[in-house]
Structure 1
Amino acid sequence: MCAVRPHHRDMLYADAAPTEVAHLVHSGAAPAAATDQTPAERAERLRRHEATPYADALDRYIARTPVQLMVPGHGGTDLGIAERLAAFLGERALRLDIPMLLEGVDLEAHSPLDEALDLAADAWGAKRTWFLTNGASQANRTAALAARGLGEHVLAQRSAHSSFSDGVLLAGITPSYVFPTVDAAHGMAHGVSPAALDEALTAAARAGRPAAAVYIISPSYFGSVSDVRGLADVAHAHGAPLIVDGAWGPHFGFHPELPESPARLGADLVISSTHKLAGSLTQSAMLHLGHGPLAAKLEPFVERAFGMTSSTSTSAILRASLDIARSALVTGEDAIGRSIEVAQHFRELLRADPRFDVVSDHFDRFPDIVETDLLRVPIDVSATGVSGHWLRNRLIEEDALYFEMSTATSLVAVIGAGKTPDVAAVLSALIAAVDSEAAAVERAANADATDFPPLPAPGTQRLTPRGGFFGETELVPAAAAVGRVSADTLAAYPPGIPNVMPGEEITAEAVAFLHAVAASPTGYVRGAVDTGVTQFRVVRQP
């Protein structure tokens, strides 16, 4: 099957919709979702969310054409050495780039920033929301520091993002783990079922490490969604708040065909990477506090941890993008619906070609997956005979077409809420790449590729993660590392689950697995001293 390769400009997104913002709703339960409201209530909600109070405050500030004898040094003009920066970004961007703590913007009580935060909390069904300008990584570190305020022991999904592991180290947490399900064929880590969580929490309590908080991930990188309500019920039954890394689901709750916002499902704290699919600028994110007594116990610790992880030079432009993105989501249901239609059409096109398969069509094989994020399209390319990594790079080089990520057997397409890419043109580019002479060469080169060995079990935790990370260390050859205590986090991709954590004993099985992945043309080991994993950083023995 051959196809003419489309020019990448033909695949550009067509924008679709309005605007939005958020902070403090004082009730013991999450406010009703838009689908549960009367027509009059819904109309009033849409009217309120058309406002963008923080962004509007920036507009009012620059309308006065202020003379700035303060930071930032570019002064909000294109004069002097700021000329080139203004030519690159536009002078308006420099004028909007103002410092914190200005009257009429974010300084006084009930400021425009407070109004924007209130609207954001309402939009996602939270009691309270914080705007973040250091990304969801800041939210993860904040969440870990806050959880430590409730106790030393936290039960976390083993596939947690590295920023949460950083928070564990910073906070001095002693973690227990619950493992996600893994699609071994595609190297994909998914989520955790309520039954698995209950078993892990019970085991931790019996081992003398009752969890003060629980941390899970939903959705996964690949669009699989866990039973957040069931997980919240289990965590709460064990007396622990549920922290949800919902970084990849900031658009949840804004269309009836999408999963619900975790804050409305009983989660006590939700990490939301708003820029990922919800339209704010890169590095902007939100942290949502849930409702109920366990969330209330977390709140003062979140507030203090937020102060520790925030910049004192927070970007006004990033904050404004969050305000505007919130308004766009709440008022943009029709546009989001068009994005879902495009994503579903893409799935239909892929299903019609036997060389491609839609990975999410088979999510029902995993007990933890209860829903799918329709704006993520994970594509099985194993029948093409080329790896997902090769195909992704080929599309970048030949078509300037960028998929979000790849594994040895898959590509993952992300369609932003309100966006409508030309998926027929994307499929044509996929087919052209697979039919190319370069693909034939790649297939021949990978004819003898072998599967990775099974995931090894973690070694015994002999020190706390903090003790392992900050201990006196030395580098030793891989053969000498077996039985020693790791100072590093080592995670083989795929599937990206940490195989060794600081403070854990390095096992022979872990060394063999990491070597096998490192030797593969489609694998790598994050955190390794060298790409071949020939050395390990271990805690020096006394």
Structure 2
Amino acid sequence: MTHAPEVPTFAYDDAEDNFGGASTNPTQRATSLEKSNRASRDTAGAPYAAALAVHAARDSTAFLVPGHGADATGLGLGQAEYFGERVLELDVTPLLDGIDLGDGSPREQAERLAADAWGASRTWFLTGGSSMGNRMAALAARGLGEGVLMQRSAHSSFVDGIILGGSSPSFVLPEVDLEHGIAHGVTPAAVADALAERRASGGDVAAVYIVSPSYFGAVADVAGIAEVVHEAGAALIVDAAWGAHFGFLPELPDSPVRLGADLVVTSTHKLTSSLSQSALVHLGHGPIARALEPHVERAHRMTASTSESSLLLASLDLDRRDLVERRDLLEASHDAVLAAREMFRADGRFPVVSDAFDAYPSTVGIDPFRIPLDIRATGLDGHTVRLRLAREFGVMVEMATVSCVVAVIGIGKTPDARVLLDALDEIAADVAAASPATEVPGDSAVVIPPMPGPGEMRIRPRAAYLADAETVPWAAAIGRISADSLAAYPPGIPNVLPGEEITVEVVEFLRASAAAGSHVRGAVDSSVSAFRVVVE
């Protein structure tokens, strides 16, 4: 278990009236002391969160940003009424002495503790989510060279980084479950073949980017891929956005950084407890990771806000502490997840799709906290089922495909999964009881074609993104060069990149996905009726 360094002690000095405040009001002074004592209890073991709470407990007057002034007066009243005054007190500007300013600050201590917890040599706190981390990773990789080999089922934010850095990408295709249209991972052999093909064509590869675990919980052989990548002299970057909990229970896969990855991006808000939009980037060990470090640091400065949210930073610190210290909650949650999966198996009508992932060589394990269910027994498509679950039963699931819905259970949580099973049962019964002649709104499934392969990359992504572009109807876009990155979301896999030729298969897939209720990131409009293309 990781142990925190001693949290800085902020002494209450009665003579100086609580941290040097000027108040002489005994009631106000007592209230400040009470706040300080409560802060110490709530944030033990979390140095950044503790320092922030101590600052919030001070009897001080703010003549600096943020404009709400950390109190419930003026325009701050509406914020306090909605969020609570405590949120305003903790929402502070960056670069404050005793919080994040200077060497050895509580911010630095918190990041060192996070590096220890996940097995990294260094960790950066992010307030822009894993999307920010992916852009950082792509920019850092560009510092090693222009060639990047990337898993095609990458998140579109990594493509954004490719565009920003002007890298030259090539691709390794993941294995795909054709029955459910699910992209899994890549094998070490596939990565080796793609590296050899790239080098045979005269191109260099400075970094390789893979995704593990996948959106559906498939875990790749990170250690095996790291060996192949390092033998080729390249850096391995792992998008582990969905694997922040890995390494904290022996029954789970290990943290990718302990398996040889040089850079790991992870969204702690997805499966652990930090607030939405908080994330981490971990640096690995060894000479390649050391060569990456200055590029990662520069990429962080370029992509981070100069007004990072102290609330998000504190949530990362507390999340790390609880992952390390609350093993009891993690174990109880793991037991509950296994019981939920067994409940669906025993029922038999809605198979757990990831039970069959071991049929794919790219998958060496699964994340049990993602439960993808085959819902075809309802008689409806997954998008329709997802909407009905939310609207009629108040049951929210993470995502849907034509044949599946995916339930996500955060580690440390123990929800009653029978609520989901009972709702699916009711939906199936309603559909079965409906007369074939009776049209039920929303029950006509939209047929989505299989996820298409990429079109030919005719110019580099950055050149296409910055080129003169025009908007044309979808039919006229076929055969043209895309100026945009388009991805049906979820899961955010780029279906066409800037510089690639737009194929009829891509157009059909994106339009059908939009019609089925998916959001197509980067599209001109919600129905994908038109495309931005390069003027040739």
- TM-score, normalised relative to structure 2: 0.87
Q: 1:440 to 1:361 in 2, by over 3 A?
A: farther
| 338-347 vs 493-502, greater mean Cα deviation | 493-502
Question: Aligned-pair distance for 1:433?
Answer: 2.7
| 318-327 vs 429-438, greater mean Cα deviation | 429-438
Q: 1:64 to 1:517 in 2, by over 3 A?
A: closer
Q: What corresponds to 2:18 in structure 1?
A: none
Match for 2:70: what amino acid? G
Paired residues of 2:252 and 2:367 also in contact (CA < 8 A): yes
Question: Aligned-pair distance for 1:337?
Answer: 1.2
| 483-492 vs 341-350, greater mean Cα deviation | 483-492
Question: Aligned-pair distance for 1:534?
Answer: 4.1
| 50-59 vs 261-270, greater mean Cα deviation | 50-59
Structure-1 separation of matches of 2:313 and 2:478: 48
Q: What corresponds to 1:83 in structure 2?
A: 77
SS at match of 2:123: strand
Structure-2 separation of matches of 1:403 and 1:110: 42
Structure-1 separation of matches of 2:270 and 2:521: 22
Match for 1:205: what amino acid? R
Match for 1:357: what amino acid? P
2:502 aligned with 1:506, yes or no?
A: yes
2:522 aligned with 1:527, yes or no?
A: yes
2:461 aligned with 1:458, yes or no?
A: no
Match for 1:238: what amino acid? A
Which residue, out of 486, 490, 508, partners 1:490? 486
Structure-2 separation of matches of 1:315 and 1:381: 40
Question: Aligned-pair distance for 1:408?
Answer: 1.2
Question: Aligned-pair distance for 1:444?
Answer: 7.1
Structure-2 separation of matches of 1:122 and 1:463: 42
Question: Aligned-pair distance for 1:116?
Answer: 0.7
Deviations along 1:178-202, one digit per CA (max 9) or x if unpaired, are 1111112222111111111111111
- Superposed, 1:125-524 pairs within 5 Å as 125-436=119-430, 440=434, 452-492=448-488, 497-514=493-510, 517=513, 521=516
Question: Aligned-pair distance for 1:290?
Answer: 0.4
Structure-2 separation of matches of 1:372 and 1:418: 18
Deviations along 1:382-403, one digit per CA (max 9) or x if unpaired, are 1221122112211211222111
Paired residues of 2:175 and 2:360 also in contact (CA < 8 A): yes
Question: Aligned-pair distance for 1:439?
Answer: 8.0
Deviations along 1:330-358, one digit per CA (max 9) or x if unpaired, are 11222111111111111111112232100
Structure-1 separation of matches of 2:379 and 2:486: 29
Q: What corresponds to 2:12 in structure 1?
A: none
Question: Aligned-pair distance for 1:114?
Answer: 1.0
Q: What corresponds to 1:539 in structure 2?
A: 534
Match for 1:247: what amino acid? A
Structure-1 separation of matches of 2:416 and 2:293: 44
SS at match of 1:123: helix
Match for 1:296: what amino acid? R
Paired residues of 1:157 and 1:180 also in contact (CA < 8 A): yes
Structure-1 separation of matches of 2:297 and 2:405: 39
| 478-487 vs 397-406, greater mean Cα deviation | 478-487
Q: Kindly, what percent of the aligned residue pairs are identical?
A: 55
Q: 1:211 to 1:448 in 2, by over 3 A?
A: same
Which residue, out of 91, 95, 106, partners 1:97? 91
Paired residues of 1:214 and 1:243 also in contact (CA < 8 A): yes
Paired residues of 2:136 and 2:161 also in contact (CA < 8 A): yes
Q: 1:96 to 1:198 in 2, by over 3 A?
A: same
Q: 1:474 to 1:402 in 2, by over 3 A?
A: same
SS at match of 2:347: coil
Deviations along 1:220-256, one digit per CA (max 9) or x if unpaired, are 1111110110111111111111000000000000001
Match for 2:469: what amino acid? T
SS at match of 1:379: strand
Paired residues of 1:183 and 1:190 also in contact (CA < 8 A): yes
Match for 1:538: what amino acid? V
Match for 1:372: what amino acid? I
Q: 1:83 to 1:517 in 2, by over 3 A?
A: closer
Structure-1 separation of matches of 2:3 and 2:349: 41
Paired residues of 1:21 and 1:323 also in contact (CA < 8 A): no
Match for 1:362: what amino acid? A
Gapped regions of structure 2 (runs ≥ 5): 6-42
Structure-1 separation of matches of 2:322 and 2:388: 34
Q: 1:402 to 1:508 in 2, by over 3 A?
A: closer
SS at match of 1:357: coil
Q: 1:380 to 1:74 in 2, by over 3 A?
A: same
Which residue, out of 54, 58, 64, partners 2:52? 58
Deviations along 1:262-286, one digit per CA (max 9) or x if unpaired, are 0100000000101111101111111
Structure-1 separation of matches of 2:85 and 2:2: 23
Question: Aligned-pair distance for 1:316?
Answer: 1.0
Q: 1:171 to 1:540 in 2, by over 3 A?
A: same
Question: Aligned-pair distance for 1:518?
Answer: 5.2
Paired residues of 1:21 and 1:120 also in contact (CA < 8 A): no
Q: 1:339 to 1:440 in 2, by over 3 A?
A: farther
Structure-1 separation of matches of 2:457 and 2:181: 25
Structure-1 separation of matches of 2:195 and 2:251: 32
Q: 1:440 to 1:336 in 2, by over 3 A?
A: farther
Q: 1:502 to 1:447 in 2, by over 3 A?
A: same
Structure-2 separation of matches of 1:235 and 1:243: 10
Match for 2:494: what amino acid? P
Higher RCO structure, 1 or 2 (CA under 8 Å, sep 6+): 1
Q: 1:108 to 1:539 in 2, by over 3 A?
A: same
Paired residues of 2:135 and 2:157 also in contact (CA < 8 A): yes
Gapped regions of structure 1 (runs ≥ 5): 1-17, 23-48
SS at match of 1:114: helix
Deviations along 1:290-349, one digit per CA (max 9) or x if unpaired, are 000110110000000100011111111111110000010011222111111111111111
Paired residues of 2:156 and 2:493 also in contact (CA < 8 A): no
Structure-2 separation of matches of 1:430 and 1:151: 50
Deviations along 1:472-493, one digit per CA (max 9) or x if unpaired, are 1112334433332111223356
2:103 aligned with 1:109, yes or no?
A: yes
Q: 1:266 to 1:482 in 2, by over 3 A?
A: same
Question: Aligned-pair distance for 1:70?
Answer: 0.8
Structure-1 separation of matches of 2:306 and 2:408: 33
Paired residues of 1:21 and 1:123 also in contact (CA < 8 A): no
Match for 1:185: what amino acid? E
